[in-house]
Amino acid sequence: MPESHFVAPSDRSAEQVSGAKVVAQALKAQDVRYVFGVVGIPVTEIALAAQELGIRYIGMRNEQAASYAASAVGYLTGRPGVCLVVSGPGLIHALAGMANANMNCWPLIVIGGSSERNQETMGAFQEFPQAVRISIYGRPGACYVDIPADFVTVQVNVNSIKYKECCMPPPVTMAEASAVCLAASVIRSAKQPLLVIGKGAAYAHAEENIRKLVEQCKLPFLPTPMGKGVVPDNHANCVSAARSRALQFADVIVLFGARLNWILHFGLPPRYQPDVKFIQIDICAEELGNNVKPAVTLLGDINAVAKQLLEQFDKIPWQYPPESKWWKRLREKMKSNEAASKELASKISLPMNYYTVFYHVQEQLPKDCFLVSEGANTMDIGRTMLQNYLPRHRLDAGTFGTMGVGLGFAIAAALVAKDRSPGQRVICVEGDSAFGFSGMEMETICRYNLPIIVLVVNNNGVYQGFDADTWKEIVKFQDPVTVAPPMCLLPNSHYEQVMTAFGGKGYFVQTPEELQKSLKQTLEDTTKPSLINIMIEPQSTRKAQDFHWLTRSNM
C-alpha cells in the first residue's frame, strides 16, 4: 500500500486503527445500518468492528439468504444493506442475491474479503462512497467491493484517514414538460384506460401522488405483484380481480415504474390489444421502448412524474366517467372471479385447498403486516387472496422468480419493522419447496428472536405432490432414490419441527379450525417466532385461468 496514504511518517506515535475499523467507520459514514453475512477470514474483524460502531450485524446461515436480506433492506429503506462474505465460495453464494437485486432494481452492496493483495492500491477504501452512489442512483442495483486481507489487518494512523461524507439520496429528475402534456391528453382521450403500478412506484414513494391521480381522475388501476399496496388492494378502483381482462382490453395503459417483462406479458398480443397505447414512466432511459413502442415516454423519478401528471389534471380537471361501459365490464368480471374464488374457499372437504387456506389467513391478517411470499401456486394464489394495504409491504420471488428469497426477506423486514414500528408483524407464506431453499435460516430467526410467522403451505411437492398412500405404494415396489417423481417431496414432512428445534413455536395443521386457532395464537404471541405447517390436498391447483400466467405473448 502507498505509505503516504495511510501512515504519516512524521506522526508514527499517533493512535493506530485497524483496516477493519476503517471499513466499518466508512460504512457508518455512509449511513449503512444493517450488515448481513457469514464470517470467515478475513471478514470476521469487519463484522466485529461494525457491531462495535452500532451497525447491526446479522449472522446468517448461508450467503445466499444474507444477500437476499441485504437487498430487501435496500428496497425497504432506500439505503443499501451490506452483505459481508468471504471471497470465493461466499461470494459465489452471494451472487444469487446480486443477480436478484439487479433484476428487481434494488440497491445492494456486497463486500468480499479476499486474499492478500498484490498490486492493488489503497483506492479500495475509496470505493465505498462510489458503491453507495452506484447502488442507489439511477436504476438501483448491486455493487461489489473487494477488500484484500491485509487491508483488514493493517494498522494505520487515525489522523491519516479521510472519510468521505455520506452519499446523498439520488437527485430527483422530472419528465420533459411537453411529454407530460402529451401524456395527459392521451389519458383524456382514452376509452378504456388503465394504470399499472409497479414496484418502481413503491420504491419511489409515489403512493400519495398516484392515489390522488386515481381518485381525482377516477381511473382503474392494477398493481404488479410488488406494486401491491402503493394504493391499497381494497380501494374501489383496484381491478386486480379482473387482471387479465383489464390488460387485454385497455386502450391506454400508464405504466408507473412497471416494466413490460414476463410479469406483464411483454405488452404484446394476445394479452393486449395490438394497438394499445402505452405511457411509460421509468427512471431508467434504457427501459423505455422495451418490447413495444410507447405512445409517450416519461423519463424521471416516478413520484415526481406522477406529481407532474397530477398538475395537468389540476389545471384542466378531468374525470373518467364512472358509469362507462369499461367500468361495467371490469366490475362484472371482478364479481364473477371473486365468486369463483369464494366458492373454492368455502369447500369444506379435507385436505384443504389453497383457497380455503388463504381465505382463513386473510381473515386474520393484520392490516399493517409485511407479507413475504414465494412458491409457485402458493405465491400465485396467495397474491390474489391476500391483501396489501401499505406500500413496500410485499416482498416475493420478484422479477427473477427466485425461490429461496423468502426467509432472508422476512428477516430483513422484521429488522426494519423492529427499528421503525415495533409490534408490526411479518408473515412469510412459503411453498414447501420454496421453504427448503433457506430453511436453516429458522435458526437465525430464533437466534435474533424475530417474531416472524412462517406459513408453509404443504402439498408435498413442487407445484404438486403426492399423498402419503401413493408415496407408500411407490416406495413399496421401487427404489425411491431412482423412481421418486421429480415434483415429489417427502409426504407429510414436519417442517414445524425445524422451528421447534431452535425454540420457536411449531404447529402442524390439517383443518380450517386448526389453522384458525394456530393463527390466532401466533398473532397474539408477539414474543416468539412460529411456523405453521399447513397440510393441503397434494393435487390442489389454481382455478381455471383465461390465460396461463406464463402464456407466451408473442405467439
Q: How near is the Cβ of 25 to ligand TPP at its closest, in Å?
A: 36
Q: Is 408 in the site for ligand TPP (CB under 6 A)?
A: no
> Which residue stretch of 17-25, 142-150, 309-317, 372-380 sits at the interface with ligand TPP (rule: CB under 6 A)?
372-380
- Of residues 482-521, those binding ligand TPP (CB under 6 A): none
Please choose, out of 172-180, 216-224, 251-259, 426-434, the segment that lies near ligand TPP by the rule CB under 6 A: 426-434
Q: Which is nearer to ligand TPP, 280 or 356 (CB)?
A: 356
Q: Is 402 in the site for ligand TPP (CB under 6 A)?
A: yes
Fill in the DSSP letter of residue 270. Answer: T
- Using CB under 6 A, pick the residue from 105, 183, 305, 403 that binds ligand TPP: 403
For Cα atoms 456, 461, 465, give the angle at the middle one, nearest 5 degrees.
120
CB of residue 63 to ligand TPP, shortest distance in Å:
14
Told to check if 62 binds ligand TPP by CB under 6 A, we report no
Residues forming the site for Mg ion (CB under 5 A): 431-433, 459
| Nearest partner of 371 among 72, 60, 63, 57, judged by Cα | 72
Bond prior to 270 in cis (omega within 30° of 0): yes
Spatial distance between the Cα atoms of 241 and 249, rounded to a whole number of angstroms:
15
Q: Quote the cell numbers at residue 434.
A: 420454496
Using CA atoms, how far residue 350 sits from 239, 465, 487, 505, 543, in Å, is: 32, 16, 22, 24, 17
Residue 77 makes CB contacts below 8 A (sequence gap 6+) with 33, 416
307 to each of 230, 440, 475, how far by Cα in Å? 15, 45, 62
Question: Closest distance between ligand TPP and the C-beta of residue 417, in Å?
Answer: 24
Query: What angle (nearest 5°) sits at the alpha carbon of residue 452, between those of residues 516 and 345?
Result: 30
Give just the sign of the alpha carbon dihedral 391, 340, 219, 277: positive
Task: Residue 217: count other Cβ atoms within 10 Å of its Cβ.
Answer: 20
CA distance 302 to 309: 11
Interface with ligand TPP, residue 377, by CB under 6 A: yes
Please report, as a single letter, which amino acid is at residue 194. Answer: L
Q: Check binding of 101 to ligand TPP (CB under 6 A).
A: no
Cβ of residue 476: shortest distance to ligand TPP, in angstroms? 25
Q: Could you tell me the smallest distance in angstroms from the CB atom of residue 324 to ligand TPP? A: 38
Residue 403 binds: one of Mg ion, ligand TPP, none (C-beta under 5 to 8 A by kind): ligand TPP
Closer residue to Mg ion, CB minimum distance, 95 or 487: 487
Which residue's Cβ lies closest to ligand TPP?
431
- The H helix count followed by the E strand count for the chain is 22, 18
Among the listed residues 91, 108, 304, 376, the single contact to ligand TPP using CB under 6 A:
376
Q: Site residues for ligand TPP, window 453-472 (CB under 6 A)?
A: 457, 459, 461-463
Q: Which CB, 155 or 545, lies closer to ligand TPP? A: 545
Task: Select the binding partner of residue 488 from ligand TPP, Mg ion, none (C-beta < 5 to 8 A, by kind).
Answer: none
* Closer residue to ligand TPP in complex, CB, 167/376: 376
249 Cβ contact partners less than 8 Å away, ≥ 6 residues apart: 192, 273, 326, 329
Closest distance to ligand TPP from the beta carbon of 6 (Å): 42
Q: How many CB atoms lie within 10 A of CB 184?
A: 22
Binding of ligand TPP at residue 432 (CB under 6 A)?
Answer: yes
Binding flag, residue 375, ligand TPP (CB under 6 A):
yes
| Cβ–Cβ < 8 Å for 216, 188 | no
Could you tell me if 347 and 221 are in contact, meaning their C-beta atoms sit under 8 angstroms apart? Answer: no
The Cα 355–Cα 359 span in angstroms is 6
Nearest-approach distance from CB 401 to ligand TPP, in angstroms: 5
Among 232, 391, 404, 529, binds ligand TPP (CB under 6 A): 404
d(CA 258, CA 74): 18
Q: At a CB cut-off of 8 Å and minimum separation 6, what does 478 contact? A: none
- Please tell me the count of residues contacting ligand TPP according to CB under 6 A: 17
Instruction: Tell me the closest approach of the beta carbon of residue 509 to ligand TPP, in angstroms.
Output: 16
Nearest CB to Mg ion, comparing residues 77 and 378: 378
Residues making contact with ligand TPP (CB under 6 A): 375-378, 401-404, 431-434, 457, 459, 461-463
